[in-house]
Amino acid sequence: MLLLIAMAYAPVYTTSGEAGGYGRRPGGSALDQSVSFVSTLVVENRAFPMFGVLFGYGLVMLVEGGRRRGLSEQENRRILRRRSLWLLVFGTVHTVLAYTAEILAAYGVAGLTIGLLVFKPHLKLGRILAILAPIYLATSLVMMSVLVADGDSLVHPGYATAEDWILRLVGIVVGPLANTVMFPMFVFVVIGIWAARKRLLDRPADNAPLLKRLAVMGVSVSLAGALPLALAGAGVIGVGDVVGKAGAVGVALAVWSIGVLAARVLDAEGGQGPAETLLRRLVYKGSRPRGSTRRHQLPPPYSSAV
């Protein structure tokens, strides 16, 4: 995993301006372009979720280890706070001397904020995720748009000029905020806390079926999320500057055809789309027939009650 991180960020230090990646079209040879496509698809930001989940899992292990040693709740909070603050310090040094978008300081921010959930076992983490997910969906879309549109957005400051050092000092604040606001850091930490509550990694043999399902789902979501950026970097999408009216209509037809096909498949299986399912659950959540203690079942699709 550390090798993947090194491979993902090494091109940031190139000065040719043709490294590509993160949705930007690369220059160079056909090999450079192929490596850029594969890197965007399976390397860049692919380790970020796993480390976030493991960080959340580790917070629970840290606190529970303290409890087993007889530490008070106040002492456990103090240790978590000190650990998070030191991560901020280490991250600050790393920002100034090495990489301005480093992740250690972001983990410190996460520990001081969302990490406090480890002391709130009564809170349902699903509700926390339901609040965070739409927020991060919006900010992630903004970040993807910036990466694709701004070819200079990943320029790494050097050490030679005053401007370089100003950018590094600015990165002390901007870096952790960007990594916790523009990327779904808190979502991954919350998932890690949930996994620790379930003891998924403490007893992997007992949880093998669930872990396999999570692995398949996680890899699938990862590839699906990276594919638009990879295609944009390859020039397959984001072609508004090279197609005319006919091409635009063709893209619209292709998108419509995929939507119709997906709807037909869902209809054949008796299911509804994700937006429809979410809307119906939100509308009928907690509703009960009059005089009944049982929750009202969702009405069938296309019912007059919708």
So what's the pLDDT on residue 304? 37
The length of the chain, given as a count of residues: 306
Q: Which residues make Cβ contacts (< 8 Å) with residue 217, sequence separation at least 6? A: none
Q: Can you tell me the mean pLDDT for 63-74?
A: 91
Average pLDDT over all residues of the chain = 79
Range of weakest confidence among 45-49, 60-64, 76-80, 211-215: 45-49
53, pLDDT greater than 60 = yes
So what's the pLDDT on residue 79? 92
Burial 205-239 (b: 16+ CB within 10 A, else e): eebeeeeeeeeeeeeeebeeebebbbbbbbeebbe
So what's the pLDDT on residue 20? 65
So what's the pLDDT on residue 303? 40
pLDDT tens digit sequence for 228-262: 778 877 776 665 555 566 666 776 777 788 778 77
Cα separation of 97 and 107, whole Å? 18
So what's the pLDDT on residue 302? 46
End-to-end CA distance of the chain: 48
How far from chain centre, in Å, is Cα 264? 30
Q: Which residues make Cβ contacts (< 8 Å) with residue 116, sequence separation at least 6? A: 77, 80
Q: Where are the beta strands (DSSP E) in 195-249?
A: none
Q: What is the DSSP letter of 297?
A: P
Q: What is the DSSP letter of 157?
A: P
Nearest to 17 by CA among 154, 159, 171, 168: 154
Q: Which residues make Cβ contacts (< 8 Å) with residue 209, sequence separation at least 6? A: none
Cα separation of 298 and 23, whole Å? 41
For every residue of 98-138, DSSP letters joined together read T-TT-SHHHHHHHHHTGGGGGG-TTS-HHHHHHHHHHHHHH
Report angle CA 178, 48, 209 to the nearest 5 degrees.
140
Between residues 21 and 34, which one has the greater pLDDT?
A: 34
Domains of the chain by residue range: 2-233
Q: What is the DSSP letter of 202?
A: T
Task: Record the tokens describing residue 159, joined without a space.
Answer: 């050490």
Q: Is residue 84 very low, low, confident or very high in pLDDT (cuts 50, 70, 90)? A: very high
What sign results for the dihedral spanned by CA atoms 243, 249, 250, 252? positive
Q: Residue written as tokens 């972001």? A: 106
How far from chain centre, in Å, is Cα 62? 24
Cα separation of 230 and 6, whole Å? 19
